[in-house]
A and B are shown apart, each in its own frame.
Chain A
Amino acid sequence: MRKKTRKVALLGVLTSVALVLSYLEVMLPPISTAVPGIKMGLPNIIIIFVLYKFGLKEAVTVSLIRVFIVALIFGGNIMTLAYSVAGAVLSLALMTLFKKINLFSIVGVSIIGGISHNLGQILVAIFLFDTIQIGYYMIVLSITGTIAGVVIGIISSILVKKLEKLV
């Protein structure tokens, strides 16, 4: 019972950290105005950490709670929520898959996460706008997603190592 309480509390703290990181990311100036959607993906540090230290169920919970609270706080509508959910779900699904396949380290899994997060959002955009042109964004976003994924992956792997005893 105590163990469970501890876990719930820890996940709560981690969700808050993810929210703070989301807030930080909104505060930062956009990296490029020509291609919207280029982001570091700071909250993904927490999601990857939870995925590796707790598991898929916990990572999905933290990720979705984060997405919904962000939509509430930063005034998103159904549309922006759809993008966020699509990105979050696809990236978590593919990261879990590649974590299971065990071919890459955390950094590689994080790269997959970065790219698939963009891919999820682009797919929603193509579906909603019915214009394949948006797919061109995907090319640019794959490059930036890879770079962001490397940085986020390195930070996550340090966290997983340093906080070995946390969980």
Chain B
Amino acid sequence: MVNMNNKRKIKNDVILAVIVIAIAATGLLLLNVFKTEGAFAVVKLDGKETERYPLSVNTEVVIETENDGKNTLVIEDGKAFIKDATCPDKICEGHSKISFKGETIVCLPHKVVIEIVADDSDKELDVVV
């Protein structure tokens, strides 16, 4: 236990806030510098890839999820977004359109992740033991 007066503690509070924000800002900056256009929208159900769609082709697909859930994925002008979802919170519907590598739209209730990848080479192989 360190014994400190209030002034010192408040100073520490400020240092903590500044350090956290500085680290996060640097991280965001790096992510933005290295952000590249993606080529495919990968659909993952419960962590496993089920489909991938090229961003260059306009599409509209209904993703069937567990518990009779439905998420409508739309690819338009090289950007992917969820047009419609049957989940209660609708957070994925409100998500902005994604097109950069690594960007994701997550629908927590349906365990659906839409993820943008750069090319076909990083296709995940299902592990068969």
Residue ranges of A at the interface with B (Cβ–Cβ < 8 Å): 30, 33-34, 36, 75, 77, 79-80, 83, 100-105, 107-108, 111-112, 115, 125, 128-131, 133-134, 136, 139-140, 142-143, 146, 149-150, 153
Contact = CB atoms under 8 A, between A and B. Distances in A.
Contact of B28 (A130, A133, A139): A139
User: Interface majority SS on B: helix, strand, loop or mixed?
Assistant: mixed
A140 to B, nearest CB: 7
B21 A83 contact: no
B69 to A, nearest CB: 11
A143 B26 CA distance: 11
B1 A102 contact: yes
A125 B104 CA distance: 13
Contact of A134 (B12, B24, B106, B111): B106
Contacts, number: 106
A44 to B, nearest CB: 16
Contact of B1 (A79, A101, A139): A101
Given A100-B1, A125-B106, A125-B108, A111 B17 contact: yes
A134 B28 CA distance: 14
Nearest to A142: B24
B115 A130 contact: no
23 contacts: A33-B91, A75-B88, A79-B108, A79-B111, A100-B1, A101-B1, A102-B9, A103-B12, A111-B16, A111-B17, A129-B46, A129-B47, A129-B106, A131-B115, A134-B106, A136-B104, A139-B24, A140-B28, A142-B21, A142-B23, A146-B17, A146-B20, A150-B17
Interface residues of B, number: 37
B44 interface: yes
A108 B16 CA distance: 7
B57 interface: no
Contacts of A33: 91, 94-96
Interface in B93-111: 94-96, 102-104, 106, 108-109, 111
B125 interface: no
Contacts of B95: 33-34, 36
A143 B9 contact: no
Contacts of A105: 6, 9-10, 12-13
